[in-house]
Amino acid sequence: MTLAPTYARYPVEFVSGSGCTLRDSEGNEYLDFLAGIAVNNAGHCHPKVVDAIREQAGRLIHVSNLFTTEANVSLAARLVERSFGVNVFFCNSGAEANEAALKLVRKFRPRGEIVVVHGAFHGRTYGALSATPQESKQAPFAPLVPGFRVVPPFAEAIAGAVGEGTAAVLLEPIQGETGVNIVPDEVLLAAREACDAAGAALVFDEVQTGMGRTGSLWAYEQTPVVPDAMTLAKGLGGGLPIGALVMGPKLADVFAPGDHGSTFAGGPVASAAAHAALDVIDDPALLAEVRSLGARLAEGLRRLPGVASVRGRGLMVAAELEREDAPELARRALLEQRLIINATGPSTLRFLPPLIVSPPEIDDALARLAALL
């Protein structure tokens, strides 16, 4: 055994991909409706992303954050221009972005509590795991980082938990890993109002919902709430690892030199890839198509036998099955129908296709799933 047994891997080895298609080592083609878990939003090996990586890798790969590079500085400016942000801290993953956010709000209000909600997932590093109130993930690694307060994702519960001793509320606008559960606008508004009243910060984890996944560049744009900071990763790099913490006016001046850092973060190649991914995704026509195709996928799923309900926004969709056999169904979809989806619970299937998916590919996925159901 050479790989640590931290993943329950399927017996498939992928060797190439393009658009929404992956090919295995035996030459079989698969329709990918998982996109590397919302990473390949621009599709596999998008020509613009590939060209940007090749061009940048041929000039400069790494210099460390003791210096600046044009690709990284301009990427920060681009994220600020397209959001509420003032400045950006770059890192390598969603968990790292959330760790940076936790340090940020703790310095903003020292020793303050961080309010999180049931059903959240913020990562597997210690701080991010401590903000993820799921017993199965936390229990083997206790004791965890202290200072987190867990409440139900209800307006009254969040409002009652936020006070003078609160540093921040950390929320996903749509809870992804626990089954694509949309946090209602009234809950987000309650969090915003409570944080404003208490002088606390509101942080959105947009690691999965960002980069066009919900039909707008950032999910918060479809809500009545603007956070004080947001964390990004997954689709940001077009397939390469990059994360970001975008900070608004309330938090922009909190970090000082030496407060935080990362050796590889925001490197020239990953930054170039992120620029290319934004070129593809930050397009009003494509984002409108994401909303349209998401509705097409959701409606098609509702018509399938054995589907009890469907929820989601844009191309971030979950189907709740009448029976608790979602993991087995996802396995059969892969091995029998060559359709890549995943299960986020006993009865929940999750669909995260590349955002460049076509209507015929949506219909093809539905037909393959129908053959199993």
Same domain, 71 and 165: yes
CB atoms within 10 A of CB 169: 30
CB atoms within 10 A of CB 364: 17
Predicted confidence (pLDDT) at residue 336 exceeds the cutoff of 80 = yes
Same domain, 197 and 229: yes
15-26 tens-digit pLDDT: 999 999 999 999
Which residues are 92's β-sheet partners? none
CATH of residue 345: 3.90.1150.10
The pLDDT confidence band at residue 109, using thresholds 50, 70 and 90, is very high
Nearest residue to 168 via CA among 144, 149, 184: 149
Same domain, 271 and 312: no
Sheet holding 29-32, edge to edge: 14-18, 21-24, 29-32, 339-340
What range does the domain containing 366 cover?
A: 14-32+306-372
Same domain, 215 and 323: no
Same domain, 237 and 358: no
Kindly state the average pLDDT of the residues 327-350.
97
Q: In this predicted structure, what is the pLDDT of residue 155? A: 98
Predicted confidence (pLDDT) at residue 245 exceeds the cutoff of 90 = yes
For residue 125, give the amino acid letter.
T
Same domain, 193 and 106: yes
Q: In this predicted structure, what is the pLDDT of residue 288? A: 98
**297: in domain:** no
36-45 tens-digit pLDDT: 999 999 999 9
Same domain, 177 and 277: yes
| Mean pLDDT, the chain, whole residue set | 97
Give CA angle at 71 (65, 73), nearest 5°: 60
287-327 tens-digit pLDDT: 999 999 999 999 999 999 999 999 999 999 999 999 989 99
Out of 239, 266, 281, pick the residue that ends a domain.
Answer: 281
139-178 tens-digit pLDDT: 999 999 999 999 999 999 999 999 999 999 999 999 999 9
**122: in domain:** yes
Token representation of residue 8? 């329950």
**79: in domain:** yes
Predicted confidence (pLDDT) at residue 332 exceeds the cutoff of 90 = yes
**289: in domain:** no
Question: How far is residue 88 CA from its own chain's centroid?
Answer: 17
Q: In this predicted structure, what is the pLDDT of residue 1? A: 65
Percent of the chain at pLDDT > 90 equals: 99
**272: in domain:** yes
Same domain, 329 and 245: no
In this structure, the dihedral spanned by the alpha carbons of residues 302, 335, 181 and 113, taken in order and rounded to 10 degrees, is: 180
**357: in domain:** yes
Same domain, 130 and 209: yes
Q: In this predicted structure, what is the pLDDT of residue 282? A: 98
Which are the contacts of 6, defined by CB distance < 8 A and separation ≥ 6? none
CATH of residue 129: 3.40.640.10
Token representation of residue 186? 């009234």
pTM above 0.85, yes or no: yes
Distances (CA, A) of 248 to 75, 131, 217, 231, 274: 16, 21, 17, 12, 21
**154: in domain:** yes
272-287 tens-digit pLDDT: 999 999 999 999 999 9
Same domain, 272 and 169: yes
Same domain, 66 and 23: no
31-88 tens-digit pLDDT: 999 999 999 999 999 999 999 999 999 999 999 999 999 999 999 999 999 999 999 9
Kindly state the average pLDDT of the residues 365-373.
97
Same domain, 217 and 135: yes
Which are the contacts of 226, defined by CB distance < 8 A and separation ≥ 6? 84, 192, 220, 248
Number of domains in the chain: 2
Q: Which helix (H) or strand (E) holds 350?
A: strand 348-351
Percent of the chain at pLDDT > 70 equals: 100
**342: in domain:** yes
